[in-house]
Amino acid sequence: MSLKKNLLELSEKIESLSPVEGLGLLADLFPGKVVFSTSLGQEDQVITQLIADYHLPIHIFTLDTGRLFSETLDLLARTESRYKKRIQVYYPDREDIEDLVQKQGINGFYDSVENRKSCCYIRKVAPLKRALQGNSIWITGLRGEQSANRSSMKKLEWDEANQIIKYNPLLDWSFDEMLAYISAHNIPYNPLHDKGFISIGCAPCTRAILPGEDARAGRWWWEDSKKECGLHAK
């Protein structure tokens, strides 16, 4: 039976489970085929803690776009040290980056939405596809509160672009619930969060948000778009 046909049955099983129970179930059902993509955001740090502390056989990877904040890279090192678990790093293709910069300039993504999406594709989407290839379950740290687009997502859904089942274990967690969990378990997180950065991506594309602004307002702040890079497009 194909992965997509398994989705309804799996969804019914996983809906009432806690995040760690859901992670454990999928790891048992798809041994060696479950991967977690972390951007080292607060939600992702919660999931990393669950995988590490409960010794779940789930592979963790991250994407280094080449334009990340130094604080994000420092957090990667601190996280590996804290949980004694290596996080695999995927990088964009060198030739693709060189060609992009030759065509657009080093900061060409500011010039148009099309340019920005091209940059996101080369630096994030293409490496993600490589990381997901050959796997059955893709775990993410998405929460429904983060954006209108994400509020319509389900805990378990089919990702057509990558032909994989996507599991969003924290989808129904509130922001306050997440912060309380981080505090209770002393989970390391990016210090930029304490400076108003809610959603942290590439350094030139992320700013702190103002009181009352949408959580995704700090991403690609110069443009009016859906505030997605293509990793989690609907």
Active site residues: 229
Sheet containing 59-63: order of strands: 88-90, 59-63, 34-37, 137-139, 164-167, 156-159
Amino acid residing at 83 = Y
Close Cβ partners of 214 (under 8 Å, ≥ 6 residues apart)? 147, 227
Question: What does DSSP say about strands 59-63 and 88-90: parallel, antiparallel, or unpaired?
Answer: parallel
Give pairs for 12-19: CB < 8 Å, separation 24+: 14/155, 14/156, 14/167, 15/155, 15/156, 19/46, 19/47, 19/50, 19/169, 19/170
CB 189 within 8 A of CB 182: yes
CB 15 within 8 A of CB 45: no
Work out the end-to-end distance of the chain between its first and last CA atoms, rounded to an integer number of angstroms.
25
Cα separation, 18 vs 38, in Å, equals: 19
Nearest to 148 by CA among 219, 218, 227, 210: 227
- Residue that the structure tokens 């002393």 belong to: 186
